[in-house]
A and B are shown apart, each in its own frame.
Chain A
Amino acid sequence: MSINIHVQHEDFDLAAEYTELRSQTSKIGAVVTFTGLVRDFERLQDDPTSGRNLHRLTLQHYPGMTERLIAEIVDEAVQRWPAFGVTVIHRVGCLRPNEQIVFVGVTSEHRENAFKIAEFVMDYLKTKATFWKQVDLNGQQQWIQPKQSDTEAAAKWTEDSDE
């Protein structure tokens, strides 16, 4: 079992991460990767009907705590569904539209566990890990508020935990 967690300013290379994941053991039958990108459009909290072009996004985090929380999320996931390897990379600092922001890669014997782990880790990453996004919408700075849909996505794992 190989778990790698990185919180970093630098961009990451999807192909390199994939190659590293699949090289860990020849027992791997499935590799699932998810990559999140910065959107160029964000709805304003005080006016959700109108969107604004996003100029840049700044990600703040709590060093030390963030890495530990992500490790706890991954530990819980691999206890639920067996896997060979999990890599989580989350970028921080100043990011522009279309840049890569988050990577989750999972290897397992069959695809079901890898899909489940990737989705579980992403859902909890959004609702538990200590990251905060601030957007610059054409000069207007605004801290992003949590989305109800993200809270609901994470809540589903407590409802059908034996699935």
Chain B
Amino acid sequence: MSMINLLFFGRLGDLAQDVNHSITYDGQLRTPEQLVHQLEVAHSKLVAALREPQVLVSVNKIIVKWDHPLCDGDEIAFLPPVTGG
């Protein structure tokens, strides 16, 4: 089964509660930016938050650019500004 797993952290997690965190990889979905675009109609508040300039995206725990090519089995995480320490 070809799947991509999505993770939303911090306040993005609150906004993504009704998003399916495991989506089928159909080969059409090529980048995190395309994934965000796909969520736009049903989850406009989440997408607005994802597009804030400080939000970073990682693929398999490595921070990447929004046009990074996706592969089957990838774990994509959306990371708002961090506040540890």
Contacts and interface: CB of A to CB of B under 8 A. Distances in A.
Interface of A: 36, 59-62, 64-65, 68, 90, 101-102, 122, 125-134, 143-146, 150
Interface stretch (B18-26, B31-39, B65-73, B77-85): B77-85
Contacts, number: 64
B5 interface: no
Interface of B: 7, 9-11, 13-14, 54, 58, 61, 77, 79-85
Q: Is the interface of B mostly helix, strand, loop or mixed?
A: loop
A60 B82 CA distance: 10
25 contacts: A60-B9, A60-B10, A60-B13, A62-B7, A62-B9, A62-B61, A62-B79, A65-B77, A90-B84, A125-B85, A126-B83, A127-B82, A129-B82, A129-B85, A130-B79, A130-B82, A132-B80, A132-B82, A132-B83, A133-B83, A133-B84, A143-B80, A143-B83, A144-B83, A145-B81
